[in-house]
Amino acid sequence: MYDIGRHSFIVTRVAADDVRAYYNACLHRSTKLRASGTDGSTQEFKCPFHGWSWNLDGSLNEIVCDWDFQHVDRDKFSLPEARVELLGGFVFINMDKDAPTLADYLGPEFMAHMKAWRLEDRYIQSHVMKTLPANWKLSMEAFMEAYHVINTHPQVAVSNADANSQYDTYGEHVNRFISTLGVLSPHLKGQYSEQDVLDQFTIGDSSVLGDSERKLGEGETARQRMADMMREMFEASTNTDLSGVSDSELLDCFSYTLFPNTFLFAGISLPMVYRFLPHPEDHRKTLFELLFLRPVPVDGNRPDPAEPTRLAEDQSFTEAQEIDPGFGEIMDQDTENLLLQQQGCEATAKPGITLGSYQEIRVRHFERAVSRYVDGG
């Protein structure tokens, strides 16, 4: 089931290359065919109220007491569908029948990036869900820049180039940053050694490094040692081949935002997906999902996707066993900021926000897209 606001869809695979999204409502008296938040497998979609049912391909299967519904044209009673396109192993749903294709919407540059990253060759290693205490737009914008790292996440600034991050926009709906890891923040120049940088390096799952030696040799850099360790230990622990992956792809944070609500972190050290959905009952809150992806093992055996862990709103991200404690702390720091920002937006006497010319370019790009759709452009 996939819900967004009041809308609800049954997303199902009809054939190996055929995925569909049906509006989740019985065509008899509009009862939901499946409860929100559920999943599983079936051969039919049966209404729990009066028992009408539909086949996997959306065609009408059965009307109970069909003698009483001779006025129903069975050929016109298939389940209505939203548009569906597949990209990189992801399912994209669109309720607008007249919208451009997904490739046209995302643009040729990003489509070329997706082809190169081959995210379809990864699987969901962990999946955590939590409600964030801010509007979905504020929640998304908190993760669009590294400008906040030095103040919000000082513990990782020692190994994060933050202010030296690269920011890019691609058309109207995609933007990206590349934040270099394994190097010292320019804010801290001269204050830490290469050994300090290595000691503070944070990745999404530090367990893949095992008990590897973190002592630098003469003239060795923290970044190169971390790349060598990541390549060797990650391959061994996950049975994957990283021979075609550059050190930058291995270590650095590549973060793409796909308007309106998705982040794809395509690298290896932070291989994540963020999804943000407006809370259906409170515009001051966001339904947030964090997924960690791993490459499919070289033997081709794709593990089953992880079952989601649902955290209560007052729980720490560190309580999710699937998340590295260091990374969970980072997520908690961001969550604390979001609560204060939501409250501040409602308390401020100043209209609008003031953005930096470069480091917050992704926020500006995102807000312009929001304005275009809100204004009907």
CA pair distance 361, 356, nearest whole angstrom: 7
Predicted local confidence at residue 327, as pLDDT: 92
Predicted local confidence at residue 217, as pLDDT: 86
Domain segments of the chain: what residues? Answer: 2-99, 122-207+240-374
Query: Starting at the edge strand that comes first in sequence, how are the strands of the sheet with 174-179 ordered?
Result: 166-170, 174-179, 253-258, 262-265, 272-278, 286-295, 122-132, 309-310
Q: Which residue has the tokens 């794709």?
A: 302
Radius of gyration of the chain (CA): 23
Same fold, 2-99 and 122-207+240-374: no
Q: What is the pLDDT along the chain (377 residues), one digit of tens a residue?
A: 999 989 999 999 999 889 999 999 999 999 999 999 889 999 999 999 999 999 999 999 999 999 999 999 999 999 999 999 999 999 999 999 999 999 999 999 999 999 999 999 999 999 999 999 999 999 999 999 999 999 999 999 999 999 999 999 999 999 999 999 999 999 999 999 999 999 888 766 666 666 667 788 888 999 999 898 888 888 887 888 888 899 999 999 999 999 999 999 999 988 999 999 999 999 999 999 999 999 999 898 999 999 999 999 999 999 999 998 989 999 999 999 999 999 999 999 999 999 999 999 999 999 999 999 999 86
Predicted local confidence at residue 278, as pLDDT: 95
Beta strands 262-265; 2-4: pairing state: unpaired
CA pair distance 60, 27, nearest whole angstrom: 10
Distances (CA, A) of 154 to 176, 269, 329: 23, 19, 11
Predicted local confidence at residue 238, as pLDDT: 83
CA pair distance 217, 205, nearest whole angstrom: 25
Pick the CATH number of 2-99 from 3.30.70.20, 2.102.10.10, 2.60.40.1730, 3.90.1150.10: 2.102.10.10
CA pair distance 133, 312, nearest whole angstrom: 12
Nearest to 316 by CA among 301, 302, 331: 331
Ordered DSSP codes for 131-165: EESS-HHHHHHTTS-STTHHHH-HHHHTTB-GGG-
Provide the terminal-to-terminal Cα distance of the chain, rounded to the nearest Å: 30
Q: Which residue has the tokens 């275009």?
A: 372
The residue type of 285 is K
Pick the CATH number of 122-207+240-374 from 3.40.1050.10, 3.90.380.10, 3.30.930.10, 3.30.1360.120: 3.90.380.10
Predicted local confidence at residue 85, as pLDDT: 97
Burial environment of residue 33 by CB neighbours within 10 A (0 to 12, 13 to 18, 19 or more):
buried
Whole-structure pTM value: 0.93
CA pair distance 54, 288, nearest whole angstrom: 32
Q: Which residue has the tokens 């720091």?
A: 333
Beta strands 309-310; 122-132: pairing state: parallel
CA pair distance 232, 225, nearest whole angstrom: 11
Predicted local confidence at residue 377, as pLDDT: 62
Predicted local confidence at residue 210, as pLDDT: 62
Q: What angle do CA 226, 231, 236 make, to 5 degrees?
A: 125
CA pair distance 108, 349, nearest whole angstrom: 42
